[in-house]
Structure 1
Amino acid sequence: MIKINMLSSAEKIAGQGVGSAYLELIRLLTNGASNELEITTNKITRADITHYHTVDFLHYLSTFFKKLTGKQIGYVHFIPDTLDGSIELPILFQRIFQKYVVSFYKRMNHLIVVNPDFIDRLVRLGIPREKISYIPNFVAKETWYELSSEEKLNFRKEKSLPENRFTIMGAGQIQKRKGLDDFIQLAKDNPNIQFVWAGGFSFGKITSGYEEYQRVLDNPPENLIFTGIITREEMMKYYNACDIFLLPSYNELFPMSILEAASCGAPIMLRDLELYHNILMGKYIPAQDILEMQSQLNIYANNPEKLGFWKERSKEISQEYSEEALLKTWLSFYHGQIEKKKNAVLP
């Protein structure tokens, strides 16, 4: 039995993908590997492995007590430059925080990235390649699933979404990095299409572009709904109610929202970032910029039957990043780390 202590504060701030990924992993390991793993969360306790999900300062201090923590595993949900366009801090604080994050990662025995593209970027920050592994995100089918046609229609009526109005959904924290400017402009340019953005200001007034976006929230276009931060169940229903899930982000790792939407059967449109090519190539509608997004919307709003192809690709995403496959991957990883630890202390 391997004892693993999970450390995370992500669930304290609603609307974060980091929190969703953390909860999904806890649920997966607790339900699927209780005979092999003993999981504790946010405890001061002796463990074989301490798995760090967030970079809190108290977590950093715990890394100096290796006999207590055992092997130290860091989950890389961001690197310093992915914070650009997320929060606004004085330049000095930004630089200090960036150096702190790198120092935190360097203290780990091993790092997990959710996108293989970030391995090279971590290596450039001075972290040895052999200390980095790629394990993708995943979502639970029992939480994120496709509703029946009747259930979708009932939810549309409940939320006053016109039954036959082509609907585009986006999701994530309201911030510049998420490409909100393009999403808002598309809504203005397409009054015949319904737009919905699910998410809010998880970091309050330090969010990049807070005042600008607050003005839009106070007076949005008639065809644009901002839901604010909502429950996972309601988010699932919105994914089901849309015709296309559009994520226009400029910078990501592996957004949970893509997996959630795909698991609910929504066709996916993404800003065609290079980081998606290794993990999702051929399974989403690519758009380089707002002009291509508009062009794609014109095609599918006028020919919704063509979305059948992309619904099938979303099913492929859901199957590829399934719980079953990822449970095996995580168990293999944890056992491998324990074996390395044993071998390291052998004479």
Structure 2
Amino acid sequence: MITINMFSQAESVKGQGVGSAYIELIKMLKKHFNHLFQININQYTPSDISHYHTVNPQYYLSTFLKGRRGKTVGYVHFLPETLEGSLKLNKVSRKIAEKYVLAFYRRMDQLVVVNPVFGKELEKYNFPAEKITYIPNFVSKEQFFPINTAEKVAFRQQTGIAEEAFVVMGAGQIQKRKGVDDFFQLAYDNPDIQFIWVGGFSFGRMTDGYEKYTKVYNNPPANLKFTGIVDRDEMNKYYNIADVFLLPSYNELFPMSILEAFSCGTPVMVRDLELYRAIIDGYYLNAKDRSEMESILRDLKANPQLLEPYQAKSLAASDYYSEENVAQMWREFYEGLLE
């Protein structure tokens, strides 16, 4: 049996995709490979493989005990440039953070990226291609799934959303990088559409744009609802009552929220980014800017039948990034490390 020590503090900050990806991976490994892998969480005991999900300083120091760590794996959930628009850091602090992140990754024997585009970005930082492996994110269909019409009606009533309302949902941390400025402006410009943002300020005042966004959060227009950070069970219901899931981010890796929406059969719209073309091309609605987002939303509201093919595309994408397919990738990866 292969011993894998998982190192992560992702669950200490609620409402971030890193935590969701970590939870899904641990559940999947224990479900499918309990007979092959001994999974330990945040234990510094000797192991065959040490898998680092977050870049905490104590984890960095632990990599110098190479004999106890076995093969080291770094999960690349962000790159230096993704810090821009996420956290409010001055130039000196940002430079230090960027150098530290890269130094942490250089301590690893292997890096796992959730998007092939970011593998190419790592190569620009002089990481050798043979040190980088692409394994996509996934979500469990036991956690995210379509619910029936009666359940949707009941949840709309529970949350004070009109049964006939056209609902556009966004999710994630409220920060500049997520494109929330466009999401909020769309709400102001389209009072006949119900907008919902599921998520909050996971990093509090450190969030880039915190003062600006809290003003909207505390005094939103009538058609913009903020839920704050919610449990994953409730997230499933929000995806299901949405007519469209809109993620207007400027910079992402492989957002868990997109996979969660896919799994619920909810049509997905994103900003036109190269990284999406590399992983989910053909499964989503594409908009280059806020004006195009608005045009598409108005068209869908006026012609609801246009949503149907994208509901089917979402479910098809969910099947492609299924737990079973991705589980096999992880098994081959871990076993391959020790060959």
Interval containing the TM-score (normalised by the shorter chain): over 0.9
What is aligned with 1:307?
307
RMSD: 0.5
Shift of 1:162: 0.4
**3-state SS in 2 of match to 1:262:** helix
- Once the two structures are superposed, what CA deviation does each residue of 1:177-235 show, in whole Å capped at 9, x if it has no partner? 00000000100111000000000000000100000000001110100001001100111
1:193 aligns with 2:203: no
The residue correspondences of 1:173-212 to structure 2 (distance < 5 A) are: 173-212=173-212
Counterpart-to-counterpart distance in 2, 1:69 and 1:22: 19
Partners in 2 of 1:89 and 1:328 — Cα distance? 39
Would you say 1:223 and 2:223 are equivalent positions?
A: yes
> In structure 1, how many angstroms separate the alpha carbons of the residues matched to 2:323 and 2:49?
22
Query: In structure 1, what residue type is equivalent to 2:314?
Result: S
Aligned to 1:107: 107
Task: Tell me the residue number matched to 1:159.
Answer: 159
State the number of aligned residues.
Answer: 339
Distance 1:283 1:90 in 2: 38
Matched ranges for 1:144-155 at <5 A: 144-155=144-155
Name 1:121's counterpart in structure 2: 121
Kindly provide the CA deviation profile for residues 101-154 of structure 1, in whole angstroms up to 9, marking residues without a partner as x: 001001100000000001111011121111000000000000001101100110
Looking at structure 2, the residues matched to 253 and 151 of structure 1 have their Cα atoms a distance apart, in angstroms, of 32
Q: Give the distance between the partners of 1:58 and 1:90, measured in 2 at CA.
A: 24
Which runs of no fewer than 5 residues in structure 2 stay unpaired? none
Give unmatched runs, 5+ long, in structure 1.
340-347
Query: CA offset at residue 83 of structure 1?
Result: 1.1
**CA-CA distance at 1:55 after TM superposition:** 0.3
**Superposition TM-score, scaled by structure 1 size:** 0.97
In 2, the alpha carbon distance for the partners of 1:145 and 1:298 equals: 26
2:322 corresponds to = 322
SS in structure 1 of the partner of residue 3 of structure 2: strand
Q: Percent identity?
A: 55
1:96 aligned partner: 96
Deviation at 1:93, TM superposition (A): 1.1
What is the alpha-carbon distance in structure 1 between the residues aligned to residue 95 and residue 176 of structure 2? 20
SS at match of 1:19: helix
Letter in 2 for 1:71: K
**TM-score normalised to the size of structure 2?**
0.99
Residues in 2 aligned to 1:97 and 1:182: alpha-carbon distance in whole angstroms = 28
C-alpha distance in 1 between matches for 2:122 and 2:112: 11
For the residue of structure 2 that corresponds to 1:265, the secondary structure is: coil
Q: How does 1:264-303 map to 2 (within 5 A)?
A: 264-303=264-303
| TM-superposed deviation, 1:247 | 0.2
Instruction: Look up the match of 1:342.
Output: none
Per-residue deviation, residues 21-68 of structure 1 (Å, max 9, x unmatched): 000000000111001111011111110000000000000000101110
- The answer to whether structure 1 residue 249 and structure 2 residue 249 are counterparts is yes
* SS of 1:64 mapped into structure 2: coil
Equivalent-residue separation in structure 2 for 1:119 and 1:215 (angstroms) = 38
Return the letter of the residue paired with 2:224: L
Equivalent-residue separation in structure 1 for 2:21 and 2:270 (angstroms): 20
